[in-house]
Structure 1
Amino acid sequence: MHLLAPLGLVLTLAGLFGLGACIWRGVRIRRSALPPAEVHAALHRLIALNLASVGAAAIGLGLLVVGLVL
């Protein structure tokens, strides 16, 4: 039970770092001189990283709240 809050904090920070990386990669892809079809494909692949980051941050936040309540 004592590990829930620190584990939640680490998972939340990892998710937020992933979201920052997703934003950074998205901006780099948009500014690149690729054809529109390749830009669309690259941004479409970036959705998986975005979804994983949001999920990790949400689960980490849930663990953090449960760890603090208990």
Structure 2
Amino acid sequence: METLIWIGAAISLIGIAGLGWCVLRAMAARRSGLDDAAMRKRLQGLVALNLGALLLSMLGLTMVVVGIFLAP
């Protein structure tokens, strides 16, 4: 079960990196000075990626918890 813990930790870190990337992209969009319609369009695309990264992080943390519970 130690392998499950390490795989889950890696998946969780990938998800957290994706969340950080989404934050950086949103900050770059804010600094670019777009009008409301263009800003809304760009941020709508980021919402899907943000939710995907959050799901990946949650899945990784779930794997870690399951690995800890199943460890002898």
TM-score when normalising by structure 2: 0.90
The match for 2:34 is 34
Matched, 1:55 2:67: no
User: 1:2: Cα distance to partner?
Assistant: 3.7
Calculate percent identity across the aligned residue pairs.
39
Q: Which residue does 2:5 correspond to in 1?
A: 5
Residue 65 of structure 1 aligns to which amino acid in structure 2? V
Q: Which amino acid aligns with 1:43?
A: L
12-21 or 1-10: bigger deviation = 1-10
Q: CA RMSD in A?
A: 1.0
Question: Gaps spanning 5+ residues in structure 2: where?
Answer: none
Q: Post-superposition shift, 1:31?
A: 1.1
TM-score, structure 1 normalization: 0.93
> What are structure 1's unaligned runs of at least 5 residues?
none
C-alpha displacement of 1:3: 2.0
Count of residue pairs the alignment pairs up:
70
